[in-house]
A and B are shown apart, each in its own frame.
Chain A
Amino acid sequence: MLLLTCPYCGVTAEETEFAPGGAAHLTRAGPGEGDDALEAYLFHRANPKGVHFERWRHAYGCGKWFLAARDTVTMEVFGTYPAQVSAPPPELIDTIRTKRPGWEPA
């Protein structure tokens, strides 16, 4: 059972205290942006084996949504950060690059 740290309230808690929300940093496509953009937004997910950015909500805590970088194979959590960003923080990218040489953000 994963341990996650909520970046808002600072609580480290078990997975059951959080609710998962799927892949992070999706770009919303609305009306008029074309069927391909809409299809990519609604259905296409990278589902990587390795580094993955994902959405979590501290559902049984402060209620805030946040984002996490996690390795889907080893379960290592590289870091969590507030959801009000459109890309992962550069320090986190550096951390992951150090730990996973050769990895580059998508």
Chain B
Amino acid sequence: MAHRLDTGGRLIDRAAPMDFSFNGKGFRGFAGDTLASALLASDQMLMGRSFKYHRPRGVVARGHEEPNALMNIGAGPFFEPNQRATVTPLTEGLEAESQNHWPSLETDAGAVNGLLSRFLPAGFYYKTFIHPRPAWKHLFEPFIRQSAGLGRAPKEPDGDRYEHFYRFCDVLIAGGGIAGLQAALKAGESGARVLLLEQAPVWGGRAAIDGDDVDGQPAADWIAGAVARLEAMPNVALHTGVMVSGVYDHGYVLAAQPVPGHRPGSSTSRERLWRIRTDWVEVAAGAIERPLSFAGNDIPGVMLAGAVRDYLADFAVVAGARTVVVTNNDDAYRTALALHAAGQAVPAIIDARAETDSPLIAAVREAGLRIAFGTGIAQVVGGKRVTGVRLCPQSGDGTMTEEIRCDAVAMSGGWSPAVHLFSQCGGKLTWDADQAFFRPDPERAPMSVDGTPFVFAVGAANGHLESAAAQADAAGTPIPAATEALIAPVWRMPAQAPVKLREKTWLDFQNDVKVSDVQLAAREGFESVEHAKRYTTLGMATDQGKLSNVNGLAVLGDALGREIPQVGTTTFRPPYVPLNMGSIAGEARGPIFQPLRKTPMDAWHESHGAHWEPVGHWRRPYCFQRSGESMEDAVAREILSVRREVGLLDASTLGKILVKGPDAGRFLDMLYTNMMSTLAPGRCRYGLMCSENGFLMDDGVVARIDDDTWLCHTTTGGADNIHGHMEDWLQTEWWDWKVWTQNLTEQFAQIAVVGPNARTLLERLGGMDLSAEALPFMRWAEGEIAGIPARVFRISFSGELSYEIAVPAGRGLELWERLVAEGADLGVAPYGTEALHVLRAEKGFIMIGDETDGTVIPQDLGLDWAISKKKTDYLGKAAQARAHMTDPERWKLVGLETLDGTVLPDGAYAVTEGNNELGQRNMIGRVTSSYRSPTLERGIAMGLVQRGPERMGEVLDFPLIGGGVTKARIASPVFYDPEGERLHG
């Protein structure tokens, strides 16, 4: 059984016991333990169930590459799924539970999947999805949804805080093993600003555990010396516990750090995301051990040989009392020696290679341990736990020669350099056939902004696995000769394993992909590695195939009769390990997710019942609710008060762009569909702006201020874009035109005073002659109102008598409050955006974003009157003349009146007889705006209908979601006051 030895464990503090729970049961570990080591120490080998077949799974690895031991950790707002137990530090009171099991980890109903495994081959999802379709919907999908998947989504918002941290350096070194420390020394001595980051809590990587000599010293001494020297360098910063997770274009790097000392609910941030800019990246990320592919290699108790050694050295924990070592390389011999030295039984080292020799092999022989060369494991014996292994000749078909009783298996299929950070932004790899791994190709490294390479790998990440070689590589000194015997590439064990063994041989533990699945994909024609990967899901789980990629490629290559380099490798994408979404968001959540723009009258609205609506980055009152009113009631009241008395709208958010200069008129003639150069000072004109594709982009009233100055009003959401659009044309196309633009949106507060009593109210405030004679419709004037400097625009978006008054932003609230106070007996009431929308729809005025969607031209909306026939050119004119744009079959704007007076659903489609090529009913129009009109006491709608204006009076069918049809008659979109009498007051 797995247990903790009485002595040893370099990371644990036996004086600091910690209690925690796993699946509700109490456990105890020590400070310095990981969740996985503490569970193993208590012989809790079973840590989860597999994704697809619900097979029992135990821990396999020591670090971030762990595929099986994924846990739900914490509770409530601090709950997080899919946490790797191997890198979760043990904390007092930690609550963990295993995933993907029902009803319990020990007894899992879903394990029946295993019996059905021949019905769940590679590509199962695709195959059942296609035929028979009903089987997917009623049989497979509910079953899969219940049984598959990892973890469960948190139900509450994340209760923790996260922060971003910005760093700049010349050289970033990812990894603080022997190579990383040496690289930092070299860079530090050159005077560069160095940042050295190590994911683990301690320095030195594997060398510290393996006890090799480095540069003539014991590894532990060399490491301590190197760290001391680095700490003394003022230009070097070094941190443990920070994981470099992504390398991006031009030296942008992300690293993640669990904030030390943080506990759920404490006021500190939980995680810190380092956002680093560096000229140079050295990847010293080491190497990752590969499993071997033999039947039963996923039975709990089968672990990576390096991990077995790590648990012993770091935590004094062994996975079993009798451990069989199985390998194709020398490194696993270190595990045999370490276990033996700790007094643990190692019945045999099963070595797939032909007999060979090296100092490590000699040491094992000297220790008196049995070595079986040329031998493989035919099959692991056991269910929820290893009970033995059956041996066979590696070259054969798995015919058993012997069975050895054991309770753990330490396997090593060789090591792969951790090339992820080198590859993430374009670095290419080469296949090293001798050492059987992909290594970075320095000739094809990622390029910096100036076209020079900026990512380099050193040490084991560069293919120098032995400590002395890793140190020499990072130091730039000659690489010493290898001391270990060469690896033998073993991609299947035994070589001629029959199908019944291959079906029990796992490649990707997390996604439950077997050797037989990859072979099936190859047979079915998925020859590209990228296709085979997606078809089988190999390497697509949260561990991104850290253990499985190379083995999977080898099996695919073998099935296709190709060498590994011809099969290629898949793309490595950041992050190296999953990042918490909270980390990515940092502090940008809730009210500070993005800046909120408020008008000068915002506080007044807030204290007068405003319901807010986001418009662009602004918030605008949707309506002002009074006590006892529903929102619908409030909107109706606001509309009627505008129609009968007087309403106030905060229009400050409307874009106000000043366009000035000798060529301003010529410029605006190009920007707008109608003529702006001929507009006389003191007058206003409604204008349309189109993209070069002809589509309507924005609309608004343009006022001519003086001879060379125009003020262009835009929609609320469009102001910044339209200003950018103007600058685009001025800077990149007509750069010799003398025009200046300025976005003055926030400089002015603007209040629309609207309704039959509007003039009376404004006259009470005094200062300007606003009579019909002095200020006719579509004119503007400058003066003072209530002692405040003002521009008054006589324009209307409601059909009522209306004045829009612009005053300096700082005086907007003052004017607003005066209007409210002076208008009490005139029935003055503020109104919001919903009333604004209904008022304009009653008059058939279009709204950008409702009647337009980026495919609508002004001619579709009956706005031909606002398109100049005289101008030879304006933006979009040429495109509007193209055949499709002038097609008489285009959908055009009409009003729609339901026969029963109800409100049409917004976005509903009008249908006609027959079906299109997709089998859907033919559609001839859609609703673009639809409201209940309190003025007319019925539903009104606008819509785009094929040949609409030619079909006045026709009745169309609008099918409803959920059944039924609403009938509506095509009418004029001007539902209210079609003669336009009311705007004169």
Bound Cα distance from A35 to B886, whole angstroms: 14
* Contact indicator A29/B451 (Cβ below 8 Å): no
Kindly state whether residue B724 has any CB partner on chain A within 8 Å.
yes
Given the complex of chains A and B, what is the CA–CA distance between A21 and B733 in angstroms? 13
In the complex, B850 has a CB within 8 A of chain A: no
**Contact yes or no, A65 B882, CB < 8 A:** no
In the assembled complex, the CB of B427 is this many whole angstroms from the nearest CB of chain A, namely 11
The digit string for A23-63, where 1 denotes a CB below 8 A from any CB of B, is 00000111111010010011000000000000101010001
A76 to B448, CA, bound (A): 6
- In the assembled complex, which residues on chain B have CB atoms less than 8 Å from the CB atom of A38? 878-879, 882
Whole-angstrom distance from the CB of A81 to the nearest CB of chain B?
12
Kindly state whether residue A2 has any CB partner on chain B within 8 Å.
yes
**Chain B nearest CB: distance from A12 CB in Å?**
9
Given A3-B250, A30-B878, the answer on whether A83 and B731 have CB atoms closer than 8 Å is yes
Q: CB distance B878 to A63 under 8 Å?
A: no
Closest to A19 in B: B724
Judge whether A74 and B447 touch: CB under 8 Å.
yes
With most chain B CB atoms within 10 A of its CB, the pick from A2, A64, A75 is A75
Chain B residue nearest to A63 (CB atoms) is B727
Partner of B878, one of A3, A33, A55: A33
Q: Name the A residues within 8 Å of B732 (CB-CB).
A: 55, 65, 83-84
Please provide the chain B residues from 833 to 892 with a CB less than 8 Å away from any CB of chain A in the complex. 872-873, 877-879, 881-882
A65 touches B449 (CB 8 A): no
A1-B250, A1-B252, A30-B873 known; A75-B449 Cβ under 8 A: yes
Q: How many residues of A contact B (CB 8 A)?
A: 31
Residues in chain B near residue A30, CB distance under 8 A: 873, 877-878
Q: Is B728 an interface residue (CB 8 A)?
A: yes
* Closest chain B CB from A104 CB (angstroms): 19
* Separation of A58 and B251 alpha carbons in the complex (Å): 20
Residue in B449, B727, B873, B879 with the greatest tally of chain A CB atoms within 10 Å:
B449
With the chains together, A30 CA to B872 CA distance in Å?
9
Q: Are B735 and A83 in contact (CB under 8 A)?
A: yes
**Cα–Cα distance between A62 and B856 once the two chains are bound (Å):** 33
- CB nearest to A38 among chain B residues: B878
- Convert B449-470 into 0s and 1s, putting 1 for each residue whose CB lies closer than 8 angstroms to a CB of A: 1110000000000000000000
Set of chain B residues within 8 Å of A65, measured between Cβ atoms: 727-728, 731-732
Q: A49 to B872, alpha carbons, bound, how many Å?
A: 38
B27 located at the interface, meaning its Cβ lies under 8 Å from any Cβ of chain A in the complex? no
Q: Does B692 contact A (CB under 8 A)?
A: yes
Task: Give bound CA distance, A57 to B723, whole Å.
Answer: 13
Please, how many angstroms separate the alpha-carbon atoms of A78 and B448 in the complex? 11
Using A2-B249, A14-B252 as known contacts, say yes or no to A31 and B447 having CB atoms under 8 A apart: no
Give the chain B neighbours of A57 by CB distance below 8 A.
Answer: 724, 727-728
Complex Cα spacing A25 to B539, Å: 43
Known: A30-B877, A30-B878, A38-B879. A99 touches B250 (CB 8 A): no
Tell me the nearest residue of chain A to B693, going by C-beta: A42
Residues of A within 8 A of B727 (CB): 57, 63, 65
Kindly state whether residue B426 has any CB partner on chain A within 8 Å: yes
Instruction: For B882, list chain A residues within 8 Å (CB).
Output: 35, 38
Say how far A105's CB is from chain B's closest CB, in angstroms: 18
The answer to whether B129 has its CB under 8 Å from any CB of chain A is no
Distance, CA A38 to CA B876, complexed state (A): 11
Query: Nearest Cβ distance between residue A33 and chain B, in whole angstroms?
Result: 7
Contact of B449 among A2, A63, A64 (CB under 8 A): A2
Question: Are B449 and A31 neighbours in the complex by a CB distance under 8 Å?
Answer: no
How many chain B residues touch A (CB < 8 A): the figure is 29
Measured CA separation A77–B251 after assembly (Å): 14
Task: Report B232-276 CB contacts with A as 1/0, cut-off 8 Å.
Answer: 000000000000000011111000000000000000000000000
CB-contact partner of A21 in B277, B447, B448, B728, under 8 A? B728
When distances are taken between beta carbons in the complex, the residues of chain A under 8 Å from B724 are 19, 57, 59
Residues of B contacting A1 with CB < 8 Å? 248-250, 252
Are A84 and B451 within 8 A (Cβ)?
A: no
User: Would B878 and A75 count as touching, CB distance under 8 A?
Assistant: no
Q: How far is the CB of A53 from chain B (nearest CB, A)?
A: 12
> Which parts of B679-697 form the interface with A (CB within 8 Å)?
692-693
Q: A35 vs B884: C-alpha distance in the bound complex, in angstroms?
A: 12
Query: Shortest distance in angstroms between A16's beta carbon and chain B's nearest beta carbon?
Result: 10
The CA-CA distance from A64 to B731 in the complex, in Å, is 7
Q: Contact flags (1/0) for B726-770 with A, using CB distance below 8 Å?
A: 011001110100000000000000000000000000000000000
Contact of B449 with A77 in the complex, beta carbons under 8 Å: yes
Contacts of B426 in A (CB 8 A): 74-75
| Nearest opposing residue in chain B for A41, CB measure | B692
CB-nearest residue of chain A to B250:
A3
Is the pair A31, B877 in contact by a Cβ cutoff of 8 Å? yes
B450 touching A29, Cβ below 8 Å: no
Q: Which partner residue on chain A sits nearest B880 by CB separation? A: A31
With a CB–CB cut-off of 8 A, which chain A residues contact B449? 2-3, 75-77
Closest to A24 in B: B732
B160 to chain A, nearest CB (A): 25
Cβ of A74 to closest chain B Cβ, rounded Å: 4
- Tell me if B731 and A84 are in contact (CB < 8 A): yes
Minimal beta-carbon separation of A51 from chain B (angstroms):
12
B728 touches A31 (CB 8 A): no
Query: Which residues of chain B have C-beta atoms less than 8 A from A83's C-beta?
Result: 731-732, 735
- Whether B250 and A74, one on each chain, are in contact in the complex, defined by CB atoms closer than 8 angstroms, is no
A32 to B728, CA, bound (A): 23
Most buried by A among B425, B450, B692: B692
Residues of A within 8 A of B872 (CB): 31-32
CB atoms of B735 and A42 under 8 A apart: no
Question: Which chain B residues border A75 with CB–CB below 8 Å?
Answer: 249-250, 425-426, 447, 449
Bound state CA distance, A63 and B250, in angstroms?
23
Give the docked Cα–Cα distance between A3 and B447 (Å). Answer: 12
Chain A's nearest CB lies how many Å from the CB of B64? 24
Which A residues touch B881, using CB under 8 A? 31
> A100 vs B451: C-alpha distance in the bound complex, in angstroms?
11
Specify which chain A residues have a CB less than 8 angstroms from the CB of B873 in the assembled complex. 30-31
CA distance A3 to B277 in the complex (A): 10
In angstroms, Cα B875 to Cα A30, docked, is: 8
As a 0/1 sequence over residues 70 to 106 of chain A, the CB contacts with chain B under 8 angstroms (1 = contact) are 0100111110000110000000000000010000000
Query: Which residue of chain A lies nearest to B670 when distances are taken between CB atoms in the complex?
Result: A30
Q: Which of B250, B252, B451, B878 contacts A31, CB < 8 Å?
A: B878
CB distance from B245 to the nearest CB of A (A): 15
Q: Are B879 and A42 in contact (CB under 8 A)?
A: yes
Residues of B within 8 A of A35 (CB): 882
Contact partner of A29 (CB less than 8 A), chosen from B251, B425, B878, is B878
Chain B residues near A74 (CB-CB < 8 A): 426, 447, 451
A35 vs B731: C-alpha distance in the bound complex, in angstroms?
26
- Shortest CB-to-CB span from A36 to chain B, Å, is 12
Once bound together, how far apart are the Cα atoms of A29 and B878, in whole Å?
A: 8
B residues near A28, Cβ cutoff 8 Å: 692, 733
Contacts of B448 in A (CB 8 A): 76
Q: Give the CA-CA distance A21 to B724 in the complex, in Å.
A: 11
The residue from A14, A31, A59, A76 contacting B450, defined by CB atoms under 8 A apart:
A76
A23 to B877, CA, bound (A): 22
Question: In the complex, A31 Cα to B673 Cα: how many Å?
Answer: 13
Nearest opposing residue in chain A for B878, CB measure: A31
- B447: which of A33, A59, A76, A84 is its contact (CB, 8 Å)? A76
Verify A84–B878 contact, CB threshold 8 A: no
Q: Which 9 residue pairs across A and B have the least CB separation, nearest first?
A: A76-B451, A84-B735, A74-B447, A1-B252, A83-B732, A65-B731, A3-B250, A31-B878, A3-B449
16 contacts between A and B (CB under 8 A): A3-B449, A14-B252, A14-B277, A19-B724, A31-B877, A31-B881, A32-B872, A65-B732, A74-B426, A75-B249, A75-B426, A76-B448, A76-B449, A77-B450, A84-B731, A99-B451
What would 7 more interface pairs be, CB under 8 Å, given A75-B250, A75-B425? A1-B250, A29-B878, A35-B882, A38-B882, A59-B724, A76-B451, A83-B731
Residues of A within 8 A of B (CB): 1-3, 14, 19, 21, 28-33, 35, 38, 41-42, 55, 57, 59, 63-65, 71, 74-78, 83-84, 99
